[in-house]
Amino acid sequence: MTIHTNTANNVLNGAETSLQKSYTPKSAKSDSLGKDDFLKLLMAQVTNQDPLNPMDSQGMMDQLTGMGSLEQLININDSLAKLNKSQLEILRANTYAFLD
C-alpha cells in the first residue's frame, strides 16, 4: 500500500505542478498602473482641460470602454484561477479516493 501511495503522491504532485504552470496568473509589475490610477489621471485631465478647446468626447469614451473591458478580463482571469484551484482539489480528492 505504501508503494501505491507514494506513486499516487508523485502523480498528484506532477499534475499539480503542471496545472499551476498552465493556469497561474502572471503577477503584475509593481511599476504598472492600475484602474484607480487610470481614473485619477482621466479625472485630472478632464479637470485641467482648456475650456475653449475641450478634450474629444469620443476619445474619452473609448478610454473608458477600454478600461471597462480590461476590468472584465481581470475578473475573468481571477475566476479562472479559482476554477483551477477547485479542479486541483477535486483531483486530489479523486486520487485519494482511488487509493482507498
CA dihedral of 88, 89, 95, 99, whole degrees rounded to 10 = 160
SS3 (DSSP) at 76? helix
Residue 86 lies in a domain: yes
Per-residue pLDDT at 7: 61
Q: Which domain holds residue 1?
A: 1-24+58-100
Per-residue pLDDT at 83: 96
CB burial readout 15-41, b (16+ within 10 A) else e? eeeeeeeeeeeeeeeeeeeeeeebeee
Is-contact 92 15, C-beta < 8 A?
no
Q: Average pLDDT of each block of 10 consecutive residues along the chain (100 residues)?
A: 56 60 54 76 80 75 83 93 95 86
Per-residue pLDDT at 91: 92
Residue 1 lies in a domain: yes
The count of structural domains within the chain is: 1
Residue 37 lies in a domain: no
Residue 45 lies in a domain: no
Q: What is the pTM of this model?
A: 0.49
Per-residue pLDDT at 73: 93
